[in-house]
């Protein structure tokens, strides 16, 4: 679970301009209390927040608010004073200081750069905002209609303009998605669409439509390129049948599939998933069934570089394994031939290169293979393999589905190749199975594993029907129920709740669950990598046995990161964002206020290095500083305190209505007077009841705030005492001790203790030496003989000791010989010096004119040569002396 650092910051709270992103429109906020509370959010998914980088798009009613969070934060934090009531103008690139008095009369929100209002052509409240992969389209969904907003560049939205922005809107399917037809439950951008321009819509009556949008062709917004009726496809027997959608909106007949195949949600796995995952549409029905449609492709699609090679390797190996095996069924052989035919159609194509925004490499665009067919087979309903001790509710109503595709199998793809595949670590690490997560009305999350794997399947051709009748019926696909847990308590359940999944930005195996009671963070990392290591390892017990052990062990972690009081407004689906300027946070909203949770720096979980290790966990726990304060959610007072009183409007209505005479005359006991008093009492009692509840909630919060403040003061005092103890400035009767003296005293005590320990060690060593009287070993005797031989070779022999029989001279003998030679040389030098002096004296006396001249350079060279010899001999003698001294000491 990520550690919460803080909740909604000041730049998102009132009166900051960032709070106005989530406020209700002015027309709705001025409604009286008796009418304002009648406008409730209808049951359905509420994904009203989308983002493009640090820009957020918030749907409020029929409007879309745009805001740049970085700009809102920097502008609000850069203001020197935010408490003034006056209004001043900063630089052109900043907001005006918020003035509550002026804002009360300002009917046009969105004044200032960094915050704009986007006008939409919708006729009903916006339920979902879905951003395209390239972030150039924004799908705007109501209950029955779909509109595509062509998002402009950020510079156009940052322009200083107070008027609402009107971008280009296209109505998707003006005759298809209308209020007279089924509601739209999901709109998903196809992960393999060219530049993210393919949108898949799924309606409540189990109809899947693929739209390939192009701003240069209006017809692409009017009709889909592929429309499949899943109820017809479920009963299909051959490829040649018609599975298109009926155009008649009035001719509706009863069918059991109308109840069994009522769609709740649909989704695609990520584009970077391996195998057939990226082209598989998973569909969850309200009744609890799960279906898969593979391969579902637009007419023009752009696969990632590793997709087609990996599929080609798997298809060729499958054909080779089933072709000559007599035990393989005829249906499996037909399926292998169909996949081979599908891949052959791709191999015969010459892909077109299309430039990709924000990328240096163009994308290869292929056409959808027409063989064996454009409409795949509907796989399902999947059977859930549940353990005997697991309870399963037959009346479970699914509300959302979230699928995590399998990882890319780089080992089989690059077998025999010298080059390595260019894939990120996030795509390489993970589970080699598809994880299907289901969410029910009660907040129950069911984690399922697709052990067999979903592959591309088509219905058999018509000429294969006769042979298909004699084959045994194929077993229905199944999902292994790995874990089931609840995110909502029974007391928190509501009848109109619609829980939703949201992906996390830090890990592909983590997500958020948003429900009316709050937000939960779910992480699958505790068992995903352990399961993958078990599946890749070799064990005689088998994979099924090891999976059972993992199921009984530690499962997924589910933590409530945000909780709101019961009876509050429904939360929008949590949106996880990570930005260097903003940090890692989750953004949600009620009908009136934002909900933001800021976390510590996120850590990637898509790595086996995060395997549970006691040492790492212990180090991490001790490395955290003591918690001084706990972040608390921001308290928003009840909306009843801000609603206008409905009594004046009711009185004005009485003055102009049919009860006008009752108001003008005296009070009389009549039926008309009783009706007026009853209606007035009902209005006043409703408003007073709401105000009492709001004031009581505010009073309880103030009392809780006092206890929290006392606890905060106690923790602050504890921290202060720790600091005073460390610094030596704690209060007491004695004089304060400085930090320097405290550190020196600790060092002195440590040295004294070390000296005592070393002294005790020496005493123990001496006692141990005296207590042991064992004989010397052979190695010790040999070592002692070597020491004695070395001593005899260095020191002279004592009297009475026989000399070594070795012929080589000992070291001390050579030293004595060198000393004798030195003395002889010194004596000879003295004699020569005396003789040369006498000879020079005689010759000078006999013949003064005669003088012996020796060149100076020769004399200096000879003297230097003699001195070097003397120094060499002296150094040799000193070295021998020092060595003898060390040996004698040792």
Over residues 316-337, the pLDDT tens digits come to 888 888 887 788 888 888 888 8
400 bridge partner residues: 439
276 by Cβ neighbours in 10 Å (0-12 / 13-18 / 19+) ranks as buried
Per-residue confidence band for 607, with pLDDT thresholds at 50, 70 and 90:
very low
> Half-sphere exposure (CA, 13 Å, Cβ side) for 766?
5
pLDDT of 533 strictly over 90: no
The bridge status of strand 500-503 relative to strand 478-486 is unpaired
Indicate the pTM of the whole model.
Answer: 0.72
439 domain-assigned: no
Q: How far, in Å, CA of 449 to CA of 382, rounded?
A: 11
| Listed residue (167, 171, 170) closest to 154, CA to CA | 167
Q: Supply the pLDDT for residue 546.
A: 59
Q: Supply the pLDDT for residue 410.
A: 64
Q: Hey, is 349 helix, strand or coil?
A: coil
Note whether 75 and 114 are within 8 A (CB). Answer: yes
- CA 874, distance to chain mean position in Å, is 77
228 domain-assigned: no
Residues of the chain with pLDDT > 70: what percent?
77
Residue 355's contacts (CB-CB under 8 Å, 6 or more residues apart) are: 362, 363
Q: Which of 1-10, 29-38, 336-345, 551-560 has the highest mean pLDDT?
A: 336-345
Poorest-pLDDT segment among 446-455, 509-518, 660-669, 802-811: 802-811
Per-residue confidence band for 102, with pLDDT thresholds at 50, 70 and 90:
very low
Judgement on whether residues 718 and 784 belong to the same structural domain of the protein? no
Nearest 5°: the CA angle 82, 87, 88 is: 95
Question: Hey, what are 770's tokens?
Answer: 């005296």
Residues of the chain with pLDDT > 90: what percent?
23
DSSP conformation letters of 764-809: HHHHHHHH--PPPPHHHHHHHHHHHHHHHHHSPPPTTPPPP--SSP
Judgement on whether residues 715 and 816 belong to the same structural domain of the protein? no
Question: What sections of 209-306 are H helices per DSSP?
Answer: 230-234, 257-260
Q: Supply the pLDDT for residue 139.
A: 94
Instruction: Please say whether the dihedral angle defined by the alpha carbons of residues 235, 241, 247 and 252, taken in this order, is positive or negative.
Output: negative
Q: How many domains does the chain have?
A: 2
Per-residue confidence band for 114, with pLDDT thresholds at 50, 70 and 90:
low
Q: Supply the pLDDT for residue 11.
A: 85
pLDDT of 822 strictly over 50: yes
Which phi and psi (to 5°) does residue 412 adopt? -70, -30
Q: Supply the pLDDT for residue 317.
A: 86
502 bridge partner residues: 512
Task: Supply the DSSP symbol for 254.
Answer: -
Judgement on whether residues 792 and 692 belong to the same structural domain of the protein? no
Q: Supply the pLDDT for residue 105.
A: 38
Judgement on whether residues 875 and 787 belong to the same structural domain of the protein? yes
Q: How far, in Å, CA of 19 to CA of 593, rounded?
A: 7
Across all residues in the chain, what is the average pLDDT? 78
pLDDT of 62 strictly over 80: yes
Q: What is the mean pLDDT of residues 91-112?
A: 39
Judgement on whether residues 788 and 860 belong to the same structural domain of the protein? yes
Chain segment 341-364, per-residue pLDDT in tens: 999 999 998 889 888 877 778 888
Q: Supply the pLDDT for residue 401.
A: 95
Judgement on whether residues 790 and 699 belong to the same structural domain of the protein? no
Judgement on whether residues 719 and 790 belong to the same structural domain of the protein? no
Q: How far, in Å, CA of 858 to CA of 833, rounded?
A: 17
763 domain-assigned: no
Note whether 231 and 206 are within 8 A (CB). Answer: yes
| Listed residue (138, 157, 156, 158) closest to 148, CA to CA | 138
- CA 160, distance to chain mean position in Å, is 35
188 domain-assigned: no
Residue 261's contacts (CB-CB under 8 Å, 6 or more residues apart) are: 206, 230, 231, 234, 285, 289
871 domain-assigned: yes
Q: What is the mean pLDDT of residues 286-292?
A: 92
- CA 598, distance to chain mean position in Å, is 13
Per-residue confidence band for 427, with pLDDT thresholds at 50, 70 and 90:
low
Q: Kindly state the greatest CA–CA separation across the chain.
A: 175
Strand order in the sheet with 207-212: 184-189, 198-203, 207-212, 226-229
Q: How far, in Å, CA of 350 to CA of 362, rounded?
A: 15
Chain segment 545-575, per-residue pLDDT in tens: 656 665 566 678 888 998 887 666 688 999 9
DSSP conformation letters of 747-758: HHHHHHHHHHHH
Per-residue confidence band for 490, with pLDDT thresholds at 50, 70 and 90:
confident
Task: Supply the DSSP symbol for 603.
Answer: -
Q: Which residues of 204-287 form beta strands (DSSP E)?
A: 207-212, 226-229, 263-267, 281-285
Q: Hey, is 815 helix, strand or coil?
A: helix
Q: How far, in Å, CA of 301 to CA of 191, rounded?
A: 9
Q: Supply the pLDDT for residue 33.
A: 43
Question: Hey, what are 12's tokens?
Answer: 């998102």
What is the residue range of 871's domain?
Answer: 780-796+809-889
> Half-sphere exposure (CA, 13 Å, Cβ side) for 74?
12
625 domain-assigned: no
Q: What is the mean pLDDT of residues 199-216?
A: 93
Q: Supply the pLDDT for residue 732.
A: 54
653 domain-assigned: yes
- CA 531, distance to chain mean position in Å, is 20
Contacts of 816-819 with CB under 8 Å at 24 or more apart are 818/873, 818/876, 818/877, 819/877
> Half-sphere exposure (CA, 13 Å, Cβ side) for 244?
9
237 domain-assigned: no
Q: Which of 156-160, 332-336, 389-393 has the highest mean pLDDT?
A: 332-336
Question: Hey, what are 256's tokens?
Answer: 């059991």
Distances in whole angstroms, Cα of residue 219 to Cα of each of 192, 223, 244, 259: 21, 7, 19, 33
Q: Supply the pLDDT for residue 803.
A: 52
Task: Supply the DSSP symbol for 193.
Answer: B
Q: What is the mean pLDDT of residues 368-383?
A: 90
The rounded radius of gyration (Å) of the Cα atoms in the chain is: 44
Task: Supply the DSSP symbol for 86.
Answer: S
Note whether 818 and 873 are within 8 A (CB). Answer: yes
Judgement on whether residues 686 and 784 belong to the same structural domain of the protein? no
| Listed residue (718, 747, 724) closest to 736, CA to CA | 724
Note whether 376 and 233 are within 8 A (CB). Answer: no
58 bridge partner residues: 49, 65
Residue 852's contacts (CB-CB under 8 Å, 6 or more residues apart) are: 840, 843
Measured in residues, the chain has a length of 890
778 bridge partner residues: none
Distances in whole angstroms, Cα of residue 675 to Cα of each of 271, 655, 679: 65, 15, 6
Judgement on whether residues 786 and 700 belong to the same structural domain of the protein? no
| Listed residue (641, 694, 649) closest to 32, CA to CA | 649
Q: Supply the pLDDT for residue 426.
A: 57
Q: How far, in Å, CA of 95 to CA of 21, rounded?
A: 14
Per-residue confidence band for 519, with pLDDT thresholds at 50, 70 and 90:
very high
Residue 3's contacts (CB-CB under 8 Å, 6 or more residues apart) are: 599, 600
Q: How far, in Å, CA of 277 to CA of 453, rounded?
A: 9
Question: Hey, what are 663's tokens?
Answer: 């108001």
| Listed residue (617, 441, 461) closest to 526, CA to CA | 617
Judgement on whether residues 785 and 881 belong to the same structural domain of the protein? yes
Q: Supply the pLDDT for residue 573.
A: 93
Specify the residue for token string 């095996």.
325
Q: Supply the pLDDT for residue 96.
A: 37
Q: Supply the pLDDT for residue 690.
A: 83
Specify the residue for token string 């997924």.
556
Chain segment 832-863, per-residue pLDDT in tens: 888 877 766 665 554 444 555 678 888 888 88
Q: Which of 55-64, 102-111, 328-337, 820-829 has the highest mean pLDDT?
A: 55-64
559 or 653: which leads in pLDDT: 559
643 or 501: which leads in pLDDT: 501
Q: How far, in Å, CA of 104 to CA of 85, rounded?
A: 12
Q: Which residues of 433-469 are buried (b: 16+ CB within 10 A; e: fewer)?
A: bbbbbbbbbbbbbbbbbbbeebbbbbbbeeebeeebe
In the chain, the N- to C-terminal Cα span, in Å, equals: 65
């Amino acid at each position: 679970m990520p550690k919460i650092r803080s909740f909604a910051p000041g730049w998102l709270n009132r009166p900051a301009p960032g709070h106005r992103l989530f406020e209700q429109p002015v027309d709705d906020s001025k409604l009286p209390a008796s009418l304002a509370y009648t406008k409730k959010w209808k049951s359905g998914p509420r994904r009203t927040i989308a983002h493009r980088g640090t820009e957020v798009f918030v749907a409020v009613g029929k409007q879309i608010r745009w805001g740049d969070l970085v700009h809102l934060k920097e502008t609000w934090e850069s203001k020197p004073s935010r408490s003034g009531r006056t209004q001043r103008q900063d630089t052109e690139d900043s907001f005006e200081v918020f003035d509550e008095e002026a804002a009360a009369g300002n009917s046009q929100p969105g004044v200032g750069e960094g915050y704009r209002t986007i006008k939409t052509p919708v006729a009903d409240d916006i339920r979902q905002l879905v951003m395209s992969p390239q972030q150039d389209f924004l799908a705007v969904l109501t209950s029955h209609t779909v509109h595509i907003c062509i998002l402009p560049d950020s510079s156009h939205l940052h322009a200083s303009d107070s008027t609402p922005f009107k971008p280009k809107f296209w109505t998707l399917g003006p005759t298809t998605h209308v209020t007279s037809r089924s509601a739209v439950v999901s709109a998903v951008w196809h992960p393999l669409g060219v530049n993210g321009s393919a949108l898949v819509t799924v309606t409540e009556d189990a109809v899947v439509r693929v739209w390939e949008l192009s701003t240069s062709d209006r017809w692409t917004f009017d009709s889909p390129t592929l429309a499949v009726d899943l109820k017809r496809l479920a009963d299909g027997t051959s490829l040649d049948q018609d599975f298109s959608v009926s155009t008649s909106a009035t001719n509706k007949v009863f069918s059991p599939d109308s109840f069994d195949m009522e769609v709740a949600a649909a989704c695609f796995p990520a584009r970077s998933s391996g195998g057939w995952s990226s082209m598989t549409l998973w569909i969850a029905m309200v009744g609890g069934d799960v279906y898969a449609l593979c391969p579902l492709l637009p007419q023009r699609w752009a696969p990632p570089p590793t997709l087609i090679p990996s599929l080609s390797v798997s298809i060729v190996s499958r054909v080779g394994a089933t072709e000559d095996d007599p035990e393989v069924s005829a249906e499996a052989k037909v399926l292998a031939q169909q996949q081979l035919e599908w891949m052959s159609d791709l191999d015969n194509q010459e892909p077109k290169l299309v430039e990709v925004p924000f990328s240096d490499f163009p994308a290869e665009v292929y056409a959808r293979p027409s063989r064996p067919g454009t409409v795949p087979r509907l796989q399902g309903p999947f059977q859930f393999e549940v353990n005997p001790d697991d309870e399963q509710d037959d009346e479970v109503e699914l509300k959302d589905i979230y699928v995590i595709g399998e990882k890319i199998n780089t080992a089989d793809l690059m077998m025999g190749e010298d080059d390595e595949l260019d894939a990120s670590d996030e795509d390489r690490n993970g589970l080699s199975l598809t994880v299907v997560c289901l969410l029910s009305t009660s907040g129950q999350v069911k984690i399922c594993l697709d052990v067999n794997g979903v592959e591309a399947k088509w219905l058999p051709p018509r000429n294969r029907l006769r042979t298909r009748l004699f084959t045994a019926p194929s077993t229905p696909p199944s999902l292994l129920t790995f874990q089931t847990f609840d995110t909502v308590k029974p007391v928190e359940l509501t009848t109109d709740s619609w829980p939703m999944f949201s992906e996390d930005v830090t890990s592909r195996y983590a997500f958020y669950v948003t429900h009316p009671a709050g937000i939960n963070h779910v992480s699958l990392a505790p068992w995903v990598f352990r399961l993958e290591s078990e599946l890749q390892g070799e064990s005689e017990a088998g994979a099924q046995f090891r999976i059972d052990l993992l199921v009984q062990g530690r499962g997924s972690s589910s933590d409530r990161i945000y909780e709101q009081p019961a009876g509050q407004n429904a939360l929008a689906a949590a949106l996880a964002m990570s930005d260097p300027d903003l940090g890692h946070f989750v953004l949600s909203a009620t009908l009136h206020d934002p909900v933001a949770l800021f976390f510590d720096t996120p850590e990637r979980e898509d790595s086996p290095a995060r395997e549970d290790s006691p040492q790492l966990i212990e180090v991490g726990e001790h490395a955290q500083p003591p918690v001084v304060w706990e972040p608390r959610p921001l308290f928003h007072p009840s909306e009843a305190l801000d609603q206008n009183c409905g009594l004046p409007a009711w009185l004005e209505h009485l003055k102009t209505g049919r009860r006008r005479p009752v108001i003008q005359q005296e009070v009389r006991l009549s039926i008309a007077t009783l009706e007026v008093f009853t209606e007035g009492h009902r209005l006043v009692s409703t408003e007073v009841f709401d105000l009492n509840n709001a004031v009581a909630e505010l009073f309880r919060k103030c009392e809780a705030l006092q206890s929290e403040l006392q606890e905060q003061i106690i923790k602050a005092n504890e921290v202060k005492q720790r600091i005073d103890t460390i610094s030596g400035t704690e209060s007491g009767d004695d004089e304060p001790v400085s930090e320097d003296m405290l550190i020196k005293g600790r060092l002195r005590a440590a040295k004294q203790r070390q000296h005592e320990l070393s002294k005790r060690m020496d005493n123990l060593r001496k006692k141990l030496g005296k207590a042991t009287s064992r004989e010397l070993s052979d190695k010790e005797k040999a070592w002692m003989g070597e020491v004695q031989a070395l001593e005899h070779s260095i020191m002279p022999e004592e009297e009475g000791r026989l000399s070594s029989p070795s012929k080589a001279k000992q070291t001390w003998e050579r030293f004595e010989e060198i000393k004798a030679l030195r003395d002889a040389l010194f004596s000879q030098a003295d004699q020569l010096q005396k003789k040369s002096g006498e000879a020079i004296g005689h010759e000078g006396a006999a013949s003064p004119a005669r003088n012996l001249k020796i060149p100076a350079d020769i004399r200096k060279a000879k003297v230097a040569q003699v001195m070097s010899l003397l120094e060499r001999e002296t150094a040799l003698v000193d070295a021998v002396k020092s060595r003898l001294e060390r040996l004698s000491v040792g």
